[in-house]
Structure 1
């Protein structure tokens, strides 16, 4: 990448997550790192779930510690059932509770022709992006009580479509439907479920997914703001939905997307 994404919280904390414990998947970089930093500033201890990059995960853990909070790192492939069971068990072992689930981990692989999407890629993208959310909720639910919050990361591609990200966009549509349906399923338990649908955000997701350098160079210029967003411009949407500020919201999606107008 031409420069590092901006993850730093942009304002002082006010204790909105004091005493809470959050699991953040994909917490090693990008939006996930920004969420971990902001949640820690607001008083939460964090379980950082990452796939491969231990160094990045440890850096995020150091960021949490610098905010005066505890962090653990958990290496896991969220697309596998046992990964969620392990992540929940390690979180309970370390902190004794779970109050917030941030389902943020995701992957994308551009393809201009649907015939270029292999069966393995299709299954892998769905496993990471949506199956993992099911698995984590299933594993964590026995530990979630009244007042708990689940926030899922969907995407503007769910609303606008993306001709070059067919499998990725399809998973994001599934995530939005899952968010709305899970909200109805859990609302009587006092557990709120919401989503965030970022637009083009400056994170490692695009170059790691195989986006060509020339596309990355002009990434985000198609938005009304003519630029990509930063992770620390998205993290406050996750905080709002995770804390009591949004106590009368469930089944909803927030849209930090640079000014693109989308339906619901």
Structure 2
């Protein structure tokens, strides 16, 4: 996708972090924006800032991506009120840290509902409409290095992010040859507030106050060696991936060896196992 002017981008988790940084760079290219976030005050502030900064149309909608009805309403607004959607960035996410044995059932539900079902809800609500409008488009996902290499102390998060990577890979194959591109962002550490995810954990997922935060993850995790990147630098790579229709967005080159080791372990298994 090369032409951004007067296109429409829908971004979940758009009030802060990578979502806001990407919205800012898209707005600078003339893209009209629909920001979705679970935090109303931050959402209004972000939308106002982008309107002032870029002079493009910016709408905001409070949205809990874990709720199918909220995401369906977001899609309905985009196509009824903004004339469609050309870029969908499934970016909203949360995290909880701690050993798998210590995770409560509500920890699992919360992470899977937001980080995996939230993305599925986005694809389900938007993809058929984007296809039907018959214009170039792009669907993006924020996954993680933890969706490529397992991290100790981030079990639920890894499960969800592996699912996001798989969904992006399948979708890229299914949409090959169409005018709709697919990208999945798999960073190590970025300067966002995901470590403070508990602030948005509602009563539906009880026990939030006693749960660990992502910063409690094991120091042996390979991603702990990665630099903390600035959100603006990561957002620039997101824009480049849209333009090039690049499936994987890997902003940390230091993750390369870890990824190679994982696949080497898988490949090495064939040498050790007997042939049937």
Find the counterpart in structure 2 of residue 109 from structure 1: 96
TM-fit CA distance, 1:62: 1.9
TM-fit CA distance, 1:187: 2.5
Find the counterpart in structure 2 of residue 4 from structure 1: none
State how far apart, in whole Å, the 1-side matches of 2:90 and 2:214 are: 27
SS in 2 for 1:172: helix
Larger radius of gyration: 2
- 1:94 lines up with 2:81 in the alignment: yes
State how far apart, in whole Å, the 1-side matches of 2:196 and 2:66 are: 21
- 1:19 lines up with 2:6 in the alignment: yes
Find the counterpart in structure 1 of residue 269 from structure 2: none
Identify which range, 145-154 or 26-35, moves more after superposition: 145-154
TM-fit CA distance, 1:120: 1.6
Find the counterpart in structure 2 of residue 211 from structure 1: 213
Find the counterpart in structure 2 of residue 246 from structure 1: 244
Gaps of 5+ in 2: 199-211, 264-276
Judge conservation of contact 1:25–1:48 (CA < 8 Å) in 2: yes
Find the counterpart in structure 2 of residue 70 from structure 1: 57
TM-fit CA distance, 1:86: 0.5
1:1-264, aligned counterparts within 5 Å?
Answer: 16-51=3-38, 53-65=39-51, 66-111=53-98, 113-144=99-130, 145-209=134-198, 210-211=212-213, 222-223=224-225, 227-242=227-242, 245-247=243-245, 249=246, 252-257=247-252, 259-261=254-256, 262-263=259-260
SS in 2 for 1:194: strand
State how far apart, in whole Å, the 1-side matches of 2:114 and 2:223 are: 28
State how far apart, in whole Å, the 2-side matches of 1:147 and 1:107 are: 30
Judge conservation of contact 1:38–1:235 (CA < 8 Å) in 2: yes
Judge conservation of contact 2:15–2:46 (CA < 8 Å) in 1: yes
Judge conservation of contact 1:37–1:63 (CA < 8 Å) in 2: no
State how far apart, in whole Å, the 2-side matches of 1:95 and 1:74 are: 13
From the two aligned structures, give the one with the greater helix fraction.
Answer: 2
1:179-211 per-residue CA deviation (whole Å, 9 max, x = no partner) reads: 000112223443211211111011111133453
Gaps of 5+ in 1: 1-14
SS in 1 for 2:117: helix
RMSD over equivalenced CA pairs, Å: 2.4
TM-fit CA distance, 1:259: 2.7
TM-fit CA distance, 1:222: 4.0
Find the counterpart in structure 2 of residue 5 from structure 1: none
**In the comparison of the two structures, how many residue pairs are matched?**
238
SS in 2 for 1:110: coil
Judge conservation of contact 1:183–1:192 (CA < 8 Å) in 2: yes
SS in 2 for 1:149: strand
TM-fit CA distance, 1:93: 2.9
TM-fit CA distance, 1:125: 0.8
SS in 2 for 1:160: coil
Find the counterpart in structure 2 of residue 10 from structure 1: none
State how far apart, in whole Å, the 1-side matches of 2:112 and 2:119 are: 10
SS in 2 for 1:162: coil
1:91-115 per-residue CA deviation (whole Å, 9 max, x = no partner) reads: 223311110100101110111x212
